[in-house]
Amino acid sequence: MQHRNRYVARDIALFSASYLIVYFAFLVFPVIYGIYLSFFDWNILSTKKFIGFKNFVEAFGDPKFLASFAHTCQFVLLSTPTIIIIGFLLALIAVRPTKSGKVAETVFFLPYILSTTVVGTLWAWLFQKNFGLFNQILAQFGLKPIGWLTDPRYAMASIVGATIWWTAGFNMILFSAAIKQIPDEIYDSARMDGAGRFATLTKITIPLLKDTTLLVVILQLIASFKVFGQAYVMTGGGPYATTEVLVQYVYKTGFSYFRLGYASAMSILLFMVILIISGFQFILGKESK
Amino acid sequence: MMKRTIGAAALVFLFALWLLPLFWLIITSLKAEQDVMTDHLALFSVAPSFVNYAKAFGGTDILKWFKNSVIVASFTTLFTLFLNSTMAYVLSRIKFRGRNSLLLFILAGMMVPFEVIIIQLYLEFNALGILNTLAAVILPRLALPIGVFILTQFFKGIPEALEEAAYMDGASRFLIFRAIILPLGKSALFVVAILSFVNAWNDFLWPLVSISDSAKYTITVGIANFQGTHGTEYALIMAGAVIASIPLIVMYFIFKKNIVKGIAMTGIKG
Amino acid sequence: MKSRNLVLMAVFILIAGMTLGAQTSQKPIEIGFWSLFTGGDGAFFDAMVKEFNASQNEIVMKTDTVKFDNYYTKLTAALAAKNAPDVVVMHQDRLSNFVPNGVLLPLDDYIKKAGIDMSTFEQGPVSNCRFDGKLYAIPMDVHPLIMYYNTDLFAKAGIPKAPVSLAELIADAQAIQEKTGAIGIAADNTTATYKAYTLTRMFMSMLKEQGYSTLNANNTKANFNNDAGAKAYQALSDMVNKYKVTPKQLDYDSSVADFKLGKAGIHFNGVWVTGSFEQQAGLNFAAVKFPALFGTNASWSGSHTFAVPVQKTFDEKKVMAVMTFINWMTNHGYLWAKAGHVPTRKTAIDTPEFKSLPHRAGYADAVKYTFASPDTPKWPQCYDAISDSLEESVALNRDAKTALSNMEQVINAILAR
């Protein structure tokens, strides 16, 4: 114990050095550089021009910024509860001690390892209006084709659908791991008290999963706010920009319209939103203990 | 009894539904391009055609890209495991002021969409003179915040008594880390390894921007060029997607047990 | 023992150095090159580069291809760090984003030195690459918006020739729908895998046919909220909403596929799909320049150019090698024409190889009626904004006045910034 306490500071430094160097060099520094850039007008190719808070002011008055942010929020609202709930329901299947439980684990998590581009391209093809699989199936039943990605009523939901298929498995794994940890005794005594399946679920299982749920909610919120890749591949932001999310607008602003300062400012606003909302969730979650 | 069969049937249906997109992915990749955009439901191609795979393997550098991806993903995983586990050790086994804040600071890194730091990273790597190298592709992915989180949570669950006993015997902290903590954390390390490998393998935008030699492309970047400038060749693109995803799927099936065990034993106790 | 090894090593290095030195003077010069051509275009382009490499021993072109979507991201980052390759492909309408920042080399001196006769080029596309009198890029092709039509369906519907006016266009489209059941006009109006730029291209063309350019002379204000714009917009909207000769929610891939499978009579698109249509068994079609819907001919066009990035250290040998490459590529434009594009070099068009290509001769004269997009660095954003706006207005069946004033507001805000 003597030995340990004497070298605590040295050990902290030694053990954390390699990680922190990489973290600061390749994550923190670019972000700080980005914050610096947000106060400039810079087209990447020539000199920067300092303009103070003008980029931020412009953002709040930019209808495209507000619209794309609204689309991101729309995606967050549609996807977060659904991917979490579906993940939980899948977990209920996966925790069964039967063979189907094991199969469920494998099948439902499999899509998670595919890349954004693969998922986006695959689902763009499935949803394709004239020749995609889904409409071909509808045609077999004599139904008219649906513009899954070309009809503004369905486009965002279709993107959410693809995202559910892609990522619900991750939440499933987290939930099923937590459920498996609930000791059998609790279920046994509940059964002896005559509790039915539904009651057990709502009064015992779910409350005991509070911590995991909090983690899942925060991770899902963060992921949903950052949405870009699969949406861009599937709809390009269409129809008429109704699925253009904030990260897409930021990306276009920086690289197609050559306004990196403005793009950085918008990214900072997004980052702050994510930070505040995750922070809120975290505090709320901790309070309810 | 009836209920059980309906339930079982429903499950099988659900599994089939979930696997349908992957099934369609493979089917499409085995069709000739002109049979793809047809208006009749051809669930099974009349004769599976490997023409797209031939095109991918014969006409492109796909094997080189594959090799590059293996190198990048493997080294990323190796280094990530080292970096993340050492950091997690500090955050879980050494008590110091500001420990929780440091963890939160690291976790905040998860909130940054990668697209918004691309140019900064590019200029930084340009200044360091290591653009257009596989090292450039590896470095930004090493600090995996979720990995630190998983390992920290897991390591917290290891009883203090084990370390105490080792110290009593005169062991150094590093020895304890290597001989006690790491072996006990095998499952969690597995999870981090998988997440890290998958992330690195699927990385697209950064390898695209940082590598100029198409011979050094990773496979995700290379197959992106299957998308035509003025037209989508779905069969070819699907074939590329299959080729790029197979290694991950194979790895998944091999390490499946460990992944689930690992997440389970992470014991998300909050 | 050790010193002997050292001496041997030194001798070896010396000899190796001398032989290598001797060899480098005979080694071909390697030129780095970025192309944005993938898919069908890519196949033709890469074949041309291969042929260039095989045709001589002094220069070896090393091509790296980047998908169009990400091409400019990568190129911009590279230009910012002066890391760009020796020569790049660049769209003419993007030049104004790069030239004013001094990242591209003015080429006049090197063109002269290399003996490239610029008079053998179509002058319009070349002058669009001039900024302040200096030439910053050499155009390889123009790819205008044209009209394709299915000759079998036309025959079946009893239409004797291609429509040359708006009224004829609509009448023909209706005839096709009534008499053959096929779609009248396949022109995409919804963004999916590809952005629905066709609407914008048609709009700009129709505007120009009436003598108006999309933006005013100094690119400070929109120039389409007027009678001409109203007529152009109305034509587009009517096709979908009034006459219903174009389906709603038609995206690019579906539009191309519909025409390819013989399910559409008329198709508006750029020349780049010609190659793909030719390969479709059973499709009999013709391709002509965009019709003079409002009396005169004008067609939107893009242009692929070659540009030379400014490097950290200037190497004239490399620049001259690039000139040789560009000279060869443009002279052999008839090879590029296989992809459907129209070569800008008259000497390439005047060849038996080009003349023997079906269809291209039919729209080669479209080059005369092309016009450049406004040369303001804000054009990419305006182009996207016009596209979104037209797409929305047509989909929601807005009246011309509302549609145009909405669009004008957005564009003017971008330009005023």
Please give the mean pLDDT across all residues of chain A.
91
- What CATH number has the domain spanning B59-268? 1.10.3720.10
**How many angstroms separate the Cα of B252 from the Cα of each of A50, A175, B38, B84, B265?**
50, 19, 34, 21, 18
Q: Chain A: nearest CA to B249, how far in angstroms?
A: 7
Residue of C nearest to B217 (CA): C64
Residue in the block written with tokens 């038996």: C352
Cβ C353 vs Cβ C342: under 8 Å: no
Contacts of A87 (CB under 8 A, 6+ apart): A168, A169, A170, A171, A172, A174, A175, A216
Chain C CB contacts of B34 under 8 Å are 280-281
CB contact under 8 A, C272 and B212: no
Q: Is residue C248 left, alpha or beta, with left meaning phi > 0 and alpha meaning psi from -120 to 50?
A: beta
The whole-angstrom distance between B61's CA and the closest CA on chain A is 19
Of B258, B146, B264, nearest to A179 (Cα)?
B264
pLDDT tens readout for residues A28-73:
999 999 999 999 999 889 899 999 999 999 999 999 999 999 999 9
Contact, A48 vs A40, CB < 8 A? yes
Separation in Å, CA of A79 to nearest CA in chain C: 21
Per-residue buried b or exposed e for C53-70, using 16+ beta carbons within 10 Å of the residue's own CB: beeeeebebbbbbbbbbb
Contacts of A192 (CB under 8 A, 6+ apart): none
Q: What count of Cα atoms within 13 Å lies in the side-chain half-sphere of residue B263? A: 24
What is the rounded end-to-end Cα distance, in angstroms, of chain C?
76
Q: Which comes out higher in pLDDT, residue A186 or B72?
A: B72
d(CA B83, CA B193): 12
Closest approach of A68 to chain B, Cα-based (Å): 15
Q: Could you report the per-residue pLDDT of A152-167, keeping only the tens digit for each? A: 999 999 999 999 999 9
- CB C164: neighbour CB atoms within 10 A? 13
Mutation test of the interface with chain A: which of C249, C250, C378, C406, choosing the one with the most A Cβ atoms within 10 A? C249
Query: A70 and chain B: CB distance < 8 Å anywhere?
Result: no
C-contacting residues in A 236-275 (Cβ below 8 Å): 236-241, 252, 255-258
The answer to whether the Cβ–Cβ distance between B229 and C256 falls below 8 Å is no
Where exactly are the structural domains of chain B?
59-268
User: Which residue in chain A is spatially nearest to C98 when comparing CA positions?
Assistant: A45
C178 touches chain B (CB under 8 A): no
Q: How confident is the model at residue A255 (pLDDT cuts 50, 70, 90)?
A: confident
Q: How far apart are CA C339 and CA C326, in angstroms?
A: 18
**Is residue C6 predicted with pLDDT exceeding 70?**
no
Nearest-angstrom CA–CA distance, A131 and A109? 28
Does A214 contact chain B (CB < 8 Å)? Answer: yes
Chains in contact with B, where contact means 3 or more Cβ–Cβ distances below 8 Å, are A, C
Distance CA A156, CA A148 (A): 9
pLDDT tens-digit profile of C163-173? 999 999 999 99
Verify whether the Cβ–Cβ distance A240 to C191 is below 8 Å. yes
Does C233 score more than 80 pLDDT? yes
pLDDT exceeding 90 applies to what percent of chain A? 67
- Hey, how many other C-beta atoms are within 10 angstroms of the C-beta on A186? 13
The string of pLDDT tens digits covering residues B110-166 is 999 888 898 889 989 999 999 999 999 999 999 999 999 989 988 888 888 888 888
Task: Count how many pairs of residues, chain A against chain B, have C-beta atoms within 8 Å.
Answer: 214
Mean pLDDT of chain C: 92
Put simply, the answer to whether A15 touches B121 (Cβ < 8 Å) is no
What pLDDT was estimated at residue B118? 87
| SS3 annotation, chain C | CHHHHHHHHHHHHHHHHHHHHHHHCCCCEEEEEEECCCHHHHHHHHHHHHHHHHHCCCEEEEEEECCHHHHHHHHHHHHHCCCCCCEEEEEHHHHHHHHHHCCECCCHHHHHHHCCCHHHECHHHHHCCEECCEECEEEEEEEEEEEEEEHHHHHHCCCCCCCCCHHHHHHHHHHHHHHHCCEEEECCCECCCCCCHHHHHHHHHHHHHCCCCCECCCCCCECCCCHHHHHHHHHHHHHHHHCCCCCCCCEHHHHHHHHHCCCEEEEEEEHHHHHHHHCCCCCCEEEEECCCCCCCCCEEEEEEEEECECCCCCCHHHHHHHHHHHHHHHHCHHHHHHHCCEECEHHHHCCHHHHCCCCHHHHHHHHHHEECCCCCCCHHHHHHHHHHHHHHHHHCCCCHHHHHHHHHHHHHHHHHC
This prediction's pTM: 0.91
The pLDDT value given to residue B269: 44
Report which DSSP code applies to B216. Answer: G
What's the number of CA atoms in the CB half-sphere (13 Å) around residue C383?
22
DSSP state of A193: T
Which of A77-86, C26-35, C221-230 is least confident? C26-35
Are residues B123 and C81, on separate chains, in Cβ contact within 8 Å? Answer: yes
- Taking an 8 Å cut-off on Cβ atoms, the answer to whether C388 and A45 are in contact is no
Q: What is the pLDDT of residue C320?
A: 96
Residue C26: pLDDT band (50, 70, 90) is low
Element (H or E) spanning B244, and its range? helix B234-265
Which residues, including other chains, have CB under 8 Å from residue B192's CB and lie 6 or more apart? B80, B81, B84, B85, B144, B147, B150, B151
- Which tokens in the block code for residue B138? 């590896």
Domain extents for chain A? 54-288
| B229 close contact with C: CB closer than 8 A | yes
Q: Fold for A54-288, please state it.
A: MetI-like fold (1.10.3720)
Contacts with C257 from chain B: Cβ below 8 Å: 37
Instruction: State residue B170's pLDDT score.
Output: 83
In the predicted structure, residue B267 carries a pLDDT above the cut 50: no
CA of B79 vs chain C CAs: smallest distance (Å): 27
C327/C333 Cα distance (integer angstroms): 10
From chain A residues 33-62, the ones with a CB under 8 A of any chain C CB are 43-46, 58
**Per residue in A113-136, pLDDT tens?**
999 989 999 999 999 988 889 998
Contact C98 A131 (CB under 8 A): no
The phi and psi torsions of B111 (rounded to 5 degrees) equal -85, -5
- Please give, rounded to a whole number of angstroms, the shortest distance from the CA of C392 to a CA of chain A: 5
| Among chain C residues, CA nearest to A249 | C381
Q: How confident is the model at residue A1 (pLDDT cuts 50, 70, 90)?
A: very low
Check if A125 contacts C (Cβ < 8 Å).
Answer: no
Pairing of strands C264-270, A49-50: unpaired
CA nearest B177: which of C48, A119, C287, A11? Answer: A11
CA distance linking residue B69 with residue B71, whole number of Å: 5
Count of C-beta atoms within a 10 Å radius of residue B85:
25
Structure tokens at A83: 């991917």
pLDDT at C159 > cutoff 50: yes
Question: What is the spatial distance between Cα C411 and Cα B255, in angstroms, rounded to a whole number?
Answer: 54
Which pLDDT value is given to residue C21? 47
Q: Contact A26/B100 with Cβ under 8 angstroms?
A: no
Alpha helices in chain A, H assignment, sequence order: 2-6, 8-23, 29-37, 54-61, 63-94, 99-109, 116-127, 133-140, 155-180, 184-192, 197-199, 206-208, 210-225, 229-235, 246-255, 260-287
Q: Residues of C at the A interface (Cβ-Cβ below 8 Å)?
A: 72-73, 76-77, 79-80, 97-98, 100-103, 190-196, 249-251, 253-254, 257-258, 377-378, 380-381, 384, 388-389, 391-392, 395, 410, 417
Angstrom distance (rounded) from CA B60 to CA C42: 12
Tokens of C329: 């590529």
Q: Within an 8 Å CB–CB cutoff, is residue C64 touching chain B?
A: yes
Which chain B residues have a beta carbon less than 8 Å from that of C194? Answer: 232
Beta bridge partners of C303: C142
State the CB neighbour count (10 A cutoff) for residue B140: 22
- Tokens for C12? 């070896």
Q: Do B117 and A271 touch (CB under 8 A)?
A: no
Beta bridge partners of C135: C130
Give me the percent of chain A exceeding a pLDDT of 70. Answer: 97
Cβ contact, residue pair A130, C97, below 8 Å: no
Q: Is the CB of B263 less than 8 angstroms away from the CB of A173?
A: yes
Average pLDDT over residues C78-97: 93
Interface probe for B, chosen from A113, A221, A233 (most Cβ of B below 10 Å), is: A113
Do the beta carbons of residue B237 and residue B227 sit within 8 Å? Answer: yes
Residues A81, A82, A87: CA angle, nearest 5 degrees: 105
State how far the Cα of C283 lies from the Cα of C259, in Å rounded to an integer: 9
Q: Please tell me whether the peptide bond between A239 and the residue prior to it is cis, using omega within 30 degrees of 0.
A: yes
Query: Which residues of chain C make contact with B37, given a CB cutoff of 8 A?
Result: 253, 257, 260-261
What phi and psi values does residue C54 have, to the nearest 5 degrees?
Answer: -75, -20
Give me the domains of chain C, ranges plus CATH numbers. 29-140+303-331 (3.40.190.10), 145-300+372-416 (3.40.190.10)
Q: With pLDDT > 90 as the criterion, what percentage of chain B qualifies? A: 41
Residues C329 and C337: their CA atoms lie apart, in Å, by 11
Each as own residue / partner, the long-range contacts of residues A209-213 (CB below 8 Å, 24 or more positions apart, any chain) are A209/A175, A209/A178, A209/A179, A210/A285, A210/A288, A210/A289, A211/A178, A211/A285, A211/B268, A211/B269, A211/B270, A212/A174, A212/A175, A212/A177, A212/A178, A212/B268, A213/A84
